[in-house]
């Protein structure tokens, strides 16, 4: 009898702890991994991130989303992409000479170099980009319930310029770096730039 009480005294707290951890992971926060160079210099390949499932998505928030069904090259379910939100629902978005404009206002891109802003990006707006998209062709604004995303390393990023918008239902949450994972400036560039 003592053995059973002792055994249950260990098993029950461990089971409760595991159940709480799974509940938190499913509803509050999870962990994701950066795959590839598209968010350099602020996030690097294999870097781990917290993903807050219910955080408010703002301009310049870094998000994690399932690209399957949005990007034609994401052929398997649960293909997580990490990108920066540029356009919110209802926004117009354009680029000229490496500058990105949201609703006609130039956004501050000091989180990446001029080289990263200008190399391989070209001049565009949503209407010219969307002519080649399978979903939402000829869009002039980000549709309701969708977001427009770019990678920080624009010349190598496979992002919204090539396949369109990210539906809210595909977004896992807003990504934040671990405090020990990167330097202070890069942490700021991921964790603190979001604006309404």
Cα dihedral 39/150/74/52 (nearest 10): 70
Q: Sign (positive/negative) of CA torsion 175, 179, 181, 186?
A: positive
Nearest to 167 by CA among 18, 67, 26, 29: 67
Backbone angles phi, psi at 68, to 5 degrees: -60, 125
The owner of tokens 């090259």 is: 73
Which residue among 61, 83, 157, 170 is the active-site one?
A: 83
Alpha carbons within 13 A on the beta-carbon side of 152: 25
- With residue 8 as reference, give the H or E element that holds it: helix 2-27
Q: Which two tokens stand for residue 98?
A: 């490496």
CA distance 94 to 102: 7
Contact (Cβ atoms closer than 8 angstroms) between residue 166 and residue 146: yes
Which residue among 2, 5, 25, 38 is the active-site one?
A: 38
Q: Is 83 a catalytic residue?
A: yes
Q: Is 38 a catalytic residue?
A: yes
Nearest to 178 by CA among 51, 20, 57: 51
Catalytic site residues?
38, 83
């Amino acid at each position: 009898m003592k053995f059973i009480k002792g055994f249950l005294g260990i098993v029950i707290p461990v089971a409760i702890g595991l159940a709480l951890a799974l509940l938190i992971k499913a509803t509050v926060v999870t962990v994701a991994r950066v795959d590839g160079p598209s968010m350099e210099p602020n996030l690097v390949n294999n870097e781990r991130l917290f993903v807050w499932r219910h955080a408010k998505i703002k301009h310049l928030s870094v998000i994690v989303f399932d690209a399957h069904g949005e990007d034609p090259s994401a052929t398997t379910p649960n293909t997580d992409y990490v990108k920066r939100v540029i356009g919110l629902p209802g926004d117009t978005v354009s680029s000229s000479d490496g500058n990105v404009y949201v609703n006609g206002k130039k956004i501050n891109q000091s989180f990446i170099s001029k080289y990263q802003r200008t190399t391989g990006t070209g001049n565009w707006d949503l209407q010219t980009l969307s002519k080649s998209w399978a979903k939402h062709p000829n869009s002039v604004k980000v549709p309701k319930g969708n977001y427009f995303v770019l990678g920080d390393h624009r010349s190598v990023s496979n992002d919204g310029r090539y396949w369109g918008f990210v539906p809210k239902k595909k977004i896992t949450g807003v990504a934040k770096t671990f405090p020990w994972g990167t330097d202070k400036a890069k942490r700021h560039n991921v964790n603190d730039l979001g604006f309404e």
